[in-house]
Chain A
Amino acid sequence: MLSANFTARSPLWAIPVMTAASMTNLLSLIARDRSDAAFRRLFEEYGPRVRSFMLRQGVDADVADDLTQETLTIVWQKAALYSPEKGAASTWIFTIARNLRIDRIRQQRPWQELTDQFASSIPSDMPLPDVQLDEQQRETRVRAVLAELPADQLEAVRLAFMDGLPHSEIAEKLGLPLGTVKSRIRLAYNKLRSALEDLR
Chain B
Amino acid sequence: MSAHIRHHPDPATLLSYAAGALAEPLAAVVAGHVSMCSRCREEVRDLEVLGGVMMMAGRPDDRIASISSPRRHDSGKERPAFAAPSAERLPAPIAAAYGLSFDTISWRRLGPGVWHHRLALSHGARGDLRLLKISAGRAMPDHGHGGEELTLVLDGAYADQTGEYRAGDIQDVNEDIEHTPVADRGMGCICLIASEQPARFKGWIGRLFQPFTGM
Contacts and interface: CB of A to CB of B under 8 A. Distances in A.
A16 B12 contact: no
Most chain B CB neighbours (cut-off 10 Å) among A53, A108, A110 = A108
B76 to A, nearest CB: 7
Interface of B: 10-12, 14-24, 27-28, 30-31, 34, 42-70, 73-76, 79, 81-82, 93, 97, 121-125, 147-148, 174-175, 196
Contact of A95 (B51, B66, B70, B122): B51
Interface in A64-90: 64-65, 68-70, 72-74, 76-77, 87-90
A22 interface: no
Contacts of A189: 11-12, 14-15, 47
Given A16-B56, A146-B53, A189-B47, 8 more contacts: A39-B67, A49-B61, A93-B55, A111-B27, A139-B53, A157-B15, A166-B23, A192-B47
12 contacts: A52-B58, A65-B65, A87-B48, A88-B52, A108-B24, A110-B27, A112-B20, A113-B31, A116-B81, A164-B19, A168-B147, A196-B46
Contact of A143 (B42, B53, B62): B53
Contact of A6 (B24, B44, B58, B62): B58
Q: For the side of the interface on A, what is the size category?
A: 35 or more
A43 to B, nearest CB: 5
User: Majority SS of interface residues in chain A?
Assistant: helix
Given A6-B58, A52-B60, A65-B65, A160 B15 contact: yes
A196 B102 CA distance: 38
A6 B57 CA distance: 8
Interface of A: 3, 5-6, 10, 12-13, 16-17, 36, 39-40, 43, 47-53, 55-56, 61-62, 64-65, 68-70, 72-74, 76-77, 87-95, 97-99, 101-103, 106-117, 119, 138-139, 142-143, 145-146, 157-158, 160-168, 178-179, 181-183, 185-186, 188-190, 192-193, 196, 200
A164 B20 contact: yes
A89 B55 CA distance: 12
Contacts of A49: 55-56, 58, 60-61
A147 B27 CA distance: 29
